Chain A
Amino acid sequence: MIDREQVLHVARLARLSLSDDEVQQMAGELSKVLGHIEKIAELDLDGVPPTSHVVEVPNALRPDEPRPSLPRDVVLAAAPAVADGGFLVPSPQAG
């Protein structure tokens, strides 16, 4: 079971602000997801390597060749605020 505190912790990590109703709802939904995982964990998987990728294609790599970057006005077009050619953000506070 996922309790209220755990939901709030995860929400804080994801910078989400949840209402009390949402916290309750998420606690239920996340618990169901975990329940599903626990069901899978009942299988005997000793000796089965963990699946990190669904399709095991090794080395889809890219040669080190430059491609054009986007024009800056395009890059900044979606920014809520711009200054000096950069995305303007509130200064992150330590702690």
Chain B
Amino acid sequence: MSDVAYEAVIGLEIHVQLSTRTKMFCGCELGFGEPPNTRTCEVCLGLPGALPVANAEAIHFGLMIGLALDCDLAPRSIFHRKNYFYPDLPKGYQISQYDEPLCRGGKLGDVRIHRVHLEEDAAKLIHLGTSGRLHGSEASIVDFNRGGTPLAEIVTEPDLRSAEDAGEWLRLLRTTLRRLGVSDVNMEEGSLRCDANISIRPAGTHELGTKTELKNMNSFRFIERGIRAEIARQEALLRAGEPVVQETLHFDPRTEAITSLRSKEEAHDYRYFPEPDLTPVGITDAMLERARAAMPELPAARAERFERELGLPADGARLLAWRTELGDYFEAALADDGDDAPEPQALANWLNELVARIETDDPAESQVQPRALASLAAMVAGKRVTQNAAKQVLDRLVAEGGDPAAIVEAEGLGAIGAGDELEPVVQQALDANPDVVAKLSAGDMKPIGVIVGHVMRETRGRADGGAVTRIVRQKLGL
């Protein structure tokens, strides 16, 4: 039993705060960081007699999400009351959707979408006391500013097989939502929140194991680490012959500990019933038309375009398109119609070099202008600077910005070709390595790297490797 290989089966539930101006069912303005309880009214405080009215823009955003995820849009959907008691829920129920959601089915990338529905966010609990954590502190205050914020809940089918897959797919979803402009999708501020349903089974089998739900992870790093930790926990249980218990879990990123959050017994007794205060939502042709007209080019389509029009390989195209900021920077650099426009693949490679050198996710926030990167790529292509020297130029650009041509000029980093300048350096390298020369002369070309390396050191990477090899062959009559 202990040498059985397991595979994970993971489905995600993602809550996305919609970036409407006002709340889901009342006209209170949305914000972030306002003083507590300054954005509330009778409706979002759940005062008796208040009447909620659904926000047309939230439904519009919901339809756009449905279109982007290739869902079936329900001609008619309704809201339900989901009943439970918690201090962050003033009415004693959350208005959500149950068996008649706005969108069903669908697909994004390789992952099928189960459903998308609209609901309202709960209020924020601020825990007082020294620890500031849920356990242990004695009192909390409730800030209802967030209560009633429109949420889209996106539920996937259990199509993901690893923590890394989940992280990558979530990035695609985030980029897609960002392109749609329906949410800030900022995990740190809580506008994108993710729960994961996780089970494991012996690899190659099809029956699903008992799943657990890992709650509210608020960064990509935590999500991947949390899922990995939970998979490991379940594997350890099964290998020890113990069962996995269905429960809701909390992952503590500081200690990597996974703890049970609440007993399932009561948690799922939500006693849903149709919300009598809200009318059904009927999708009209005009609403559909407006949603379709608002659709931008989505990452999947952008990747396809990069592949088709620019000849990038599929994985490279995805890398750029799935991170909007990279795709935007890439296209900005490509659009630089200077003297020599860079070749797309070479430019993509240099963008990767840049990304590896900067702290921020968005290269546009670095010192390096898209135009500068484009011209650096073009200079390499034109053999005016070698690959190695160009990396030094890029280091300078990252540190202080500027124009690559000027840096090359000022630092004397221009490529040394086959001319008079290179020949003596090659001769010097040959003189310094008689043993290598002997091997080369005997027809063993493998150690030529020693000569090239020597020349590179002497010229600080400015020599063209091909030219060095050529001169060596000439000199030795090979």
Distance between Cα atoms of A90 and B142 in the complex (Å): 10
CB nearest to B248 among chain A residues: A94
Decide if A47 is an interface residue (CB 8 Å cutoff). Answer: no
Q: Select which of B28, B126, B284 is within 8 A of A86 by beta carbon.
A: B126
Cβ < 8 Å to B, chain A residues 53-95: 53-54, 56-67, 69-70, 72, 75-76, 83-95
Distance between Cα atoms of A9 and B265 in the complex (Å): 11
CB nearest to B30 among chain A residues: A66
Cβ < 8 Å to A, chain B residues 220-245: none
Q: Select which of B29, B42, B87, B282 is within 8 A of A59 by beta carbon.
A: B282
Query: Interface on B for A, CB 8 Å cutoff?
Result: 20-22, 26-29, 35-42, 45, 53-59, 76, 78, 83-87, 92, 100, 125-129, 134-135, 137-144, 260-263, 266, 269, 271, 274, 276, 278-282, 284
Distance between Cα atoms of A52 and B77 in the complex (Å): 10
Distance between Cα atoms of A13 and B129 in the complex (Å): 28
Q: Are B280 and A64 neighbours in the complex by a CB distance under 8 Å?
A: no
Q: Are B35 and A85 neighbours in the complex by a CB distance under 8 Å?
A: yes
Decide if A4 is an interface residue (CB 8 Å cutoff). Answer: no
Report chain A residues within 8 Å CB of B21.
64-66
Given the known interface contacts A61-B53, A61-B55, A91-B134, the answer about A72 and B87 at a Cβ–Cβ threshold of 8 Å is no
Distance between Cα atoms of A57 and B280 in the complex (Å): 7
Distance between Cα atoms of A5 and B20 in the complex (Å): 45
Q: Are B141 and A53 neighbours in the complex by a CB distance under 8 Å?
A: no
Given the known interface contacts A53-B276, A60-B279, A65-B21, the answer about A90 and B138 at a Cβ–Cβ threshold of 8 Å is yes
Distance between Cα atoms of A54 and B277 in the complex (Å): 11
Quick one: which of B26, B41, B53, B140 has the most chain A CB within 10 A? B140
Report chain A residues within 8 Å CB of B20.
64
Given the known interface contacts A62-B53, A92-B87, A94-B134, the answer about A70 and B40 at a Cβ–Cβ threshold of 8 Å is yes
For A21-65 the 0/1 string (1 means CB < 8 A from B) is 000000000000000000000000000000011101111111111
Report chain B residues within 8 Å CB of A59.
279-282, 284
Name the prevailing secondary structure of the A interface residues: loop
Cross-chain pairs A/B with CB under 8 angstroms, 14 sampled: A56-B280, A59-B282, A61-B53, A64-B22, A64-B58, A70-B42, A76-B37, A84-B128, A88-B141, A89-B87, A91-B127, A91-B140, A92-B125, A95-B260
Query: Interface on A for B, CB 8 Å cutoff?
Result: 9, 12-15, 52-54, 56-67, 69-70, 72, 75-76, 83-95
Report chain A residues within 8 Å CB of B269.
9, 13
Distance between Cα atoms of A92 and B140 in the complex (Å): 8
Q: Are B141 and A67 neighbours in the complex by a CB distance under 8 Å?
A: no
Q: Are B125 and A12 neighbours in the complex by a CB distance under 8 Å?
A: no
Given contacts A75-B45, A94-B262, 4 further A-B contacts (CB under 8 A): A58-B279, A61-B59, A65-B27, A66-B21
CB nearest to A76 among chain B residues: B37
Within the complex, the shortest CB–CB distance from A88 to chain B, in Å, comes to 6
Q: Are A75 and B54 neighbours in the complex by a CB distance under 8 Å?
A: no
CB nearest to B84 among chain A residues: A13
Distance between Cα atoms of A34 and B282 in the complex (Å): 32
CB nearest to A66 among chain B residues: B29
Given the known interface contacts A69-B40, A72-B38, A76-B37, the answer about A90 and B139 at a Cβ–Cβ threshold of 8 Å is yes
Report chain A residues within 8 Å CB of B135.
93-94
Report chain B residues within 8 Å CB of A83.
128, 139, 141
